[in-house]
Structure 1
Amino acid sequence: MRDPHVEALYYSVNSDLEDVEYGEPSPVEWDAERAQYRIEAGNLTARPKGHYSSAREARAALQPELDAWEAHVDLTKELGALRFRYKDAKLIDLDPPPPGAKIVMCSSVLESASARVEARTTRVRHFQADFDRKSVPSV
């Protein structure tokens, strides 16, 4: 890409608590200082307002807003009740090559991953967080 731009970041909506599971609340959208947010079907989509050329850069810019929302729920509901887990990003090219141009692509990925799998039966408490703009603290 000649001029990459992060169009959206995707997160899952989770909880650190074993007996909390988010159901299917109605979709909620709100406009914050750094991004427009939408929660739907257990997923958060963040559309940054600024120009970021990498997912890492965009995540760093939006993280304070997400941290503030998690902290608000920690203090007003229950510690660990709401957590956003990064999943993916959508990047677009703001300066695509002209039609028919040859493109040479190089890529390198430095990632590490670990996984832990557990299976257990727990009671599920459906936790309805305050998914409205009044509950999202400003940063």
Structure 2
Amino acid sequence: MSELQCDIQPAPPLRLTPICTVYSGIVRLAMTGRFLQSHRAPADEFGAFVPHVAPLPGNEPEPQVWAEAYVMSTVSSAAGGFPAGVDYVRAAYLADPRGGTDRWLHLGGAAHIGKGLTLGYRITVQTTQG
């Protein structure tokens, strides 16, 4: 059975204005236990909460959030020739799976990982108040 490992390494946030902050960093994705890969296989879903980002209190309105990602490097299998790259990326404030009313910034998407893929990401968050 294959298992996806997702490791996010954030860079310091960049506060552009009192209501707009950019979070960026690197996401390392690795697939273990996958022996066969197909040219027609769908992209693998990934997702994780972004570390070191303050939670959004449950009573705060949802900010506008834009997510971007790009491929920095790939690790392919010996056979090669399989697709590698990001299909799509998304970010949103999601409820904490452990409970509570706060919401936390989550980065997710789908990618053709092969054995491993490193993505750079950028999430822009614009709130309605500073």
TM-score normalised by the chain length of structure 2? 0.31
Bigger radius of gyration: 1
More helix as a share of residues: 1
What TM-score do you get using the length of structure 1 for normalisation? 0.30
